[in-house]
């Protein structure tokens, strides 16, 4: 079974601080690594995504760092704001082999940003 | 532009009852997906439809059936509901089935089975 392991399960950060969420994967065929943001009562929404041919991707305050050799990737939220309080899911997918075309999700991290 | 619309938003069933969850997208997407979300478990794929006329099992298909009615609509049916199927169900769509395409999610159906 393909797995994406996500940590921590929950995270509390002061306003203005840096939030870091980590994910690790096993399947070396994964070739797309998106992060989704989910607010209570809503469906997940794509936040940012990376392909394994780059080591970092930045969009505003959100950055994905990718370490192909370690099979790990992480989401960094700079200058965290109370409006960033949500559940974040990492995911991975591949176009080949078992489970192709499917997104495999981590179990989620509930982020709370306190004023 | 509504995106992905799921109905109903909430439902309570008794064990053994059947029901169909509806999903429709207006983005002309080819691929559609059904997930369930349980506390501490993330999202798990139940079934998906890569294109109109095809459906495939995901990680947790047991106890469910699906129908891709047309390009817009993808329904999920529980034939005999069990308490273990209490969950939040999300439908998603994607332009194409290929992995680098983002999935767009509806706001979910919250289903409780007593």
Written as one string, the DSSP assignment of B29-41 is -SEEEEEEEETTT
Are the CB atoms for B58 and B12 separated by under 8 Å? no
Q: Is A3 on the interface with B (CB under 8 A)?
A: no
What's residue A97's pLDDT? Answer: 65
Are the CB atoms for A5 and A92 separated by under 8 Å? no
User: In Å, how far is B93's CA from the nearest CA of chain A?
Assistant: 12
Chain A's closest residue to B32, CA to CA, is A102
- Number of residues assigned to chain A: 115
Residue-wise pLDDT tens for chain A (115 aa)?
Answer: 568 999 999 999 999 999 999 999 998 888 899 999 999 999 999 999 999 899 999 999 999 999 999 999 999 999 999 999 999 999 998 876 666 678 899 999 999 999 9
User: Which parts of chain B sit beneath pLDDT 70?
Assistant: 1, 97-99
What's the mean per-residue pLDDT of chain B?
93
What residues are paired with A33 via a beta bridge?
Answer: A50
Strands B31-38, B64-68: pairing is unpaired
Asked if A107 and B107 come within 8 Å (Cβ–Cβ), the reply is no
Evaluate the omega torsion of the peptide bond into residue B8 and state whether it is cis, within 30 degrees of 0: yes
Asked if B42 and A6 come within 8 Å (Cβ–Cβ), the reply is yes
């Amino acid at each position: 079974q393909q797995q994406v392991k996500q940590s921590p399960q929950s995270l509390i950060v002061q306003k203005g601080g840096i939030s870091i969420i980590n994910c690790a994967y096993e399947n070396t065929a994964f070739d797309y690594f998106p992060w989704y943001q989910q607010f209570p009562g809503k469906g997940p929404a794509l936040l940012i995504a990376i392909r394994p041919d780059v080591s970092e991707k930045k969009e505003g305050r959100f950055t994905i760092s990718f370490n192909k050799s370690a099979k790990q990737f992480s989401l960094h939220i700079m200058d965290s704001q109370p409006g960033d309080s949500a559940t974040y899911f990492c995911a991975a997918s591949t176009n080949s082999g078992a489970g192709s075309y499917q997104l495999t999700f981590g179990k989620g991290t509930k982020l709370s940003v306190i004023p | 532009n509504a995106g992905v619309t799921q109905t109903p938003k909430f439902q309570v069933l008794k064990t053994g009852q059947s029901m169909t969850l509806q999903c429709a997208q207006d983005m002309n997407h080819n691929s559609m997906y059904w997930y369930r979300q349980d506390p501490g478990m993330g999202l798990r794929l139940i079934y998906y439809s890569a294109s109109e006329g095809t459906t495939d099992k995901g990680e947790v298909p047991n106890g469910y059936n699906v129908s891709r009615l047309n390009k817009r609509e993808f329904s999920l049916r529980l034939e005999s509901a069990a308490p273990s199927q209490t969950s939040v169900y999300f439908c998603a769509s994607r332009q194409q089935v290929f992995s680098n395409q983002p999935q767009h999610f509806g706001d979910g159906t919250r289903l409780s089975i007593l």
